[in-house]
Amino acid sequence: MTIEVKDYTRSDFQAAQEVRWCPGCGDYTILATVQNFLAEMGIAREDHVFISGIGCSSRFPYYVNTYGMHGIHGRAPAIASGVASANPDLTVWVITGDGDGLSIGGNHLIHALRRNVNLKILLFNNQIYGLTKGQYSPTSELGKKTKTSPMGSIDFPFNPVSLALGAEATFVARTIDMDRKHMAEVLAATAEHRGTSFIEIYQNCNVFNDKAFIELTSRDTRDDNRVYLEHGKPIVFGRDNEYGIRIGELGAEIVEVSAVGIDAIQVHNAKDPEPGVAFALSRLSRGPHGPTPLGIFRDVDRAVYEDLMVGHIKQAQELRGTGDLAALLRSGGSWTAEQENGSSS
């Protein structure tokens, strides 16, 4: 039985383990925001489980005073799917990175998304391999010079939000480590969602990929480049909301509100059962450069994997003892083999 506790504080979710990331790493901000949010959820610590793979972000379970498991490279969604299926009453979190989740773990990620397992997946995207000291990752930009691509990467990068939408994820969002208020709002929304939640978090690696998100974090440019998506509201941005997003035949486009009028601006609908517009918004920026949507792209209801599984188990239990094994073995899919002389065997 879940025991709800109303008076948790962040310190209740701080483990005794020393937090060891590089000084200035964006992971510290994410950890603090998540710990504060867990305290506000009012769910007992023993009813949370954090599962991670390999990478800097995957140290997370050590630093949160809940149940958890540090898994192997890329397999966190698979392990978490088993945990959530075995005990649907748990709140199961997956902590992964752009390397862990989108490279070796890519298959596990997309299948968890399409199955709609009741998981909350936080993908820390710093566009680099940090733990192994600065190799290019599946989200590194084309031409990225690293230790494994000294002449520049020739790999075209993933867009994690587009990938999640393409896999039919029911909750897809993006936030950034430097905006704790926005991150907390997105976490609050995922707490209300049943099914797979996928949140991409732009996270600065100040050692191997510093200022990768400078256009979204600098005071001089952030207002012109952060496009906040709010359900039911026109998608406008800029210092004075002078720009907006319009959906045309060629997808999402940036327009001046004064030129087209506010009625031409797309009103965001995160509840749209069809992911087409959300996908178009995700293609507005293929990386953290120029106007980049932040917020909830999609939040829809669909049958949850564990619910369907429980339904099958109940059906099997109801049929137990009513079958005829001999009849089953003789039914369908059987055949008679004949020898060349016409006799059967």
Q: Per residue in 115-167, pLDDT tens?
A: 999 999 999 999 999 999 999 999 999 999 999 999 999 999 999 999 999 99
CB atoms closer than 10 angstroms to residue 298: 27
Q: Which two tokens stand for residue 195?
A: 């099914």
Residue 111 has pLDDT above 80, yes or no: yes
- Looking at residue 285, its amino acid is S
Amino acid 311: pLDDT:
86
What does DSSP assign to residue 43?
Answer: B
Residue 297 has pLDDT above 70, yes or no: yes
Residue 287 has pLDDT above 90, yes or no: no
Residue 86 has pLDDT above 80, yes or no: yes
pTM of this prediction? 0.90
pLDDT in tens, 241-261: 999 999 988 899 999 999 999
- Contact (Cβ atoms closer than 8 angstroms) between residue 83 and residue 126: no
Domain locations in the chain as residue ranges:
1-212
Residue 323 has pLDDT above 90, yes or no: no
Task: Tell me which fold the domain 1-212 belongs to.
Answer: Rossmann fold (3.40.50)
Residue 4 has pLDDT above 70, yes or no: no
Percent of the chain scored above 90 by pLDDT?
84
pLDDT in tens, 174-227: 999 999 999 999 999 999 999 999 999 999 999 999 999 999 999 999 999 999
117-143 exposure pattern, b = at least 16 Cβ within 10 A, e = fewer: bbbbbbbbbbbbbbeeebbbbbbbbee
Lowest mean pLDDT among 252-256, 303-307, 334-338: 334-338
CA distances from 212 to 3, 105, 125, 188, 206 (A): 42, 23, 10, 27, 9
Residue 331 has pLDDT above 90, yes or no: no
Residue 268, Ramachandran bin (φ over 0: left; ψ between -120 and 50: alpha; else beta): beta
Residue 77 has pLDDT above 90, yes or no: yes
Nearest to 266 by CA among 231, 243, 235: 235
Binned at pLDDT 50, 70 and 90, residue 5 comes out as low
Could you give the 3-state DSSP secondary structure of residue 306? helix
What does DSSP assign to residue 313?
Answer: H
Residue 342 has pLDDT above 70, yes or no: no
CA dist 21 and 32 (Å) reads: 13
Bridging pattern class, strands 236-237 and 226-229: unpaired
Amino acid 225: pLDDT:
96
Residue 1 has pLDDT above 50, yes or no: no
Residue 330 has pLDDT above 80, yes or no: no
Amino acid 149: pLDDT:
94
H or E stretch covering 124: strand 119-125
End-to-end CA distance of the chain: 59
pLDDT in tens, 27-58: 999 999 999 999 999 899 999 999 999 999 99
Amino acid 321: pLDDT:
67
- 255 CB-near residues (< 8 Å, 6+ apart): 243, 244, 245, 246, 264, 265
- 31 CB-near residues (< 8 Å, 6+ apart): 19, 60, 63, 64
